[in-house]
Amino acid sequence: MNPTQQVDAVMQASAASGRHYRDSIPMIASENILSPLVAEAIQGDLHGRYAEGLPGKRYYQGCDDFDTIENIGIESAQRVFNCRFANIQSISGTVSNMGALKALTKPGDTITAVSTADGGHISHHPMGAVGMRGLNLVTYPWDEERMEPDVDAASKLIRTEQPELCLFGQSVILFPIPLQELADVAHEVGARVMYDGAHVLGLIAGGEFQDPLREGADVMTGSSHKTFPGPQGGFVLSDSDDELLQKKLNNAIFPGVCSSYHLHHVAGKVVAMAEFEAHGKQYAKDIVSNARALGSALSSEGFDVIAEERNFTASHQILTRHGGPDSGAGKRAAQRLEDCGIITNMNMLPGDTKAMSGPSGLRLGTPELTRIGMGADEMQDVAKFFARSLLSEENPETVKSDIARFKSEFQTVKYAIQEGPAYPEI
């Protein structure tokens, strides 16, 4: 491939990806789209710049204008997340976790966390950030019914293991967990408490989910591009007034795990926080009510939706079961749905043990559908498309073209200071 062909290949694949999402029903729970103003902010000159350090204390000249942005952003994050300390430099949720783990632990320490099989993130695992920090991981006993740590057994485990850090938060997350109770036990043994709010950060800030910083978490990390609808990036937050902790957290991001911290994305985060202050509460509320409406509509169509007795969810996610444990039915369902124009991911459910090939379920998210203006009526339409794809097994091409027609009515980003096209004009 010569250089021109290489560039063409990238441009064509990128445009094709845009068309694919424009014409389909995107339901990956960790995804979202950019508002026009955030997209504009991340395209500026800042893309090529460096600003190592904190506002007013830089290693390079030329940072005064960026200092203005970062200072506004820190104050905005303190308001949006209701906390005394905010670092807005981290370039992703994973990097936020790496930084927080660096600040809160030293190699060889023991930490407790949710296992990946129970919905914990890979960065909480020895294969990810926890392993990079050389930590000894002990996972919580899990109540599969309630999808939360078994409080009595987990409390006992924390008292026995005496960890330096108790980490909470999940990638598969339907309901709040008994955080305050477990945080009290952690503090009793002298452990710090960290909550990874990557997925639910927008719901927390919007007042629609449990608020970890009010329920015992010393530090909360998160992504800036999931239910919090900004550009790719992360946050590290704390309500502690412990200046040493705050300093450790800042130092853990720079110079700990970032040098350049993608200044254009910091600018985008600051714009996204302004939009969140204007529209975030309503957005968070609508995400959760859509997820519940979707759970109910899928159940009415005949799908096995997890946690029906608890109204399906209290978050942006719902889980559906498509076969027995380790049957791989989730993988097959996800592929068939994509053939029909619905983008989801296979997911392990309670009972599944084979991580990659065996998941029996799907995880479905409503952040993007909500962002483009879909409501309860459209969740019923979406459930009907699921039924046509998976239950009646209609010809995928027919379903796909009906979905493209349906989706053509939902092409505008809402909950933004300036509404605009949700997908690139191609």
Give residues in contact with ligand PLP (CB under 6 A).
30, 92-94, 97, 121, 123, 169-171, 196, 198-199, 223, 234
Residue nearer to ligand PLP on the CB measure, 121 or 322: 121
Closer to ligand PLP by Cβ: residue 97 or 250: 97
Tokens of 399: 């379903």
b/e string for 331-370 if b means 16 or more Cβ within 10 A? Answer: bebbebbbebbbbbbbbbbbebeeeeebbbbbbbbbbbbb
Give the relative orientation of helices 376-386 and 396-407 as an angle to the nearest 10 degrees.
170
> CB of 57 within 8 A of CB of 278?
no
To the nearest whole angstrom, how small is the minimum distance from the Cβ of residue 96 to ligand PLP?
A: 8
| Smallest gap from residue 223 Cβ to ligand PLP (A) | 4
Neighbour-count burial of 81, counting CB atoms closer than 10 A to its CB (0-12 exposed, 13-18 middle, 19+ buried): buried
Cβ distance to ligand PLP smaller for residue 30 or 347? 30
CB of 78 to ligand PLP, least distance (A): 21
CA distance 197 to 100: 13
Amino acid sitting at position 302: G
Q: Which residue's Cβ has the minimum distance to ligand PLP?
A: 93
| Cβ closest to ligand PLP, residue 235 vs residue 254 | 235
Smallest gap from residue 234 Cβ to ligand PLP (A): 6
Contact criterion met (CB below 8 Å) for 101 and 125: no
- Rounded to 5°, the CA angle 129-135-141 comes to 95
CB of 169 to ligand PLP, least distance (A): 5
* Tokens of residue 310, six digits: 């608890």
Q: Which lies closer to ligand PLP via its Cβ, residue 228 or residue 303?
A: 228
CB 258 within 8 A of CB 95: yes
Nearer to ligand PLP, 120 or 341 (CB): 120
Measured from the CB atom, the residue of 199 and 269 that comes closer to ligand PLP is 199
Residue number, 120 or 206, with CB nearest to ligand PLP: 120
Residue 426 CB, shortest distance to ligand PLP, in Å, is 26
Please, what is the minimum distance in Å from the beta carbon of residue 257 to ligand PLP? Answer: 12
Smallest gap from residue 255 Cβ to ligand PLP (A): 20
